[in-house]
Structure 1
Amino acid sequence: MKPRIAVKILLGIVIAVTLFHLCILLKVIPYDITWGGRLTNDTEMYVFETFSIGLNLILGMVLLFKGNLIKPLLPIKMVNVVLWVFLILFAVNTVGNLFAETNFEKGLSVITLACSLFLWIILRSKGAKKIKSKS
């Protein structure tokens, strides 16, 4: 798979996950199916969901930089460091989801594993500092 395609797929996942967390924040979706089933009240939910949305927005922006879809505001080396941190975060989250209390969140381990693999493809592309956009 080409890194450019991996960036676009991962951006789609980030948008979907952000919308999911917004639905939880707005109480369209119950929060007890997320965060390992460990949230006990609305205050915890607001803190955790706001944090999650913020992380997803950061990942989305960094992917836009890496994919050369918008002008990078950070040096490419910093973009790569941030993406490595997210790769590790997704890998750890995959393991955490496997041990979650809800079956729904256990199923999300497939998505977090896919995100890890897409990030690996993006970061390990042959010598590409920036992923060339197709014009």
Structure 2
Amino acid sequence: MAQRYSIPTLPKLNSATSVSTLDPESSPKNDSSSDWVQRLPNYLDPSKVVSVEIRGEYFGAWDTPREQWEAGFMLMAIESNGNEKHVKNFLPSQLSISAIKQECDAIAQALGATLMDTTAQFNAED
């Protein structure tokens, strides 16, 4: 029996938000920018991010032939010092390409950063 390769992805995020009434800093309105920032990885400092870049990438297990890896996208944050930090992986089998790019744009806007799309020559539908 063939073993299915594993694809490293981040868990899907719940779009529902909760606002604690105990927090004096909480705004009563639903601010989607702060919602995106709160859902980013803890190691990412939004104040240092100058741009985010969406890249074409292939995902699969190391013991699986590369031809069997799944095409997808990786969102990276570029900090002012040049460091790159992983934000999120996307697979077209889980979300449409236009929805992926809209989510990347929303994350970039929430960070106040420029979105650079380097996927023009990448075919995610291999």
- Which protein is bigger by CA-based radius of gyration? 2
Which is strand-richer, 1 or 2? 2
Task: Indicate the structure whose relative CO is greater, using CA pairs within 8 Å and at least 6 residues apart.
Answer: 1
**TM-score, structure 1 length as denominator?**
0.27
> Per residue, is there more helix in 1 or in 2?
1
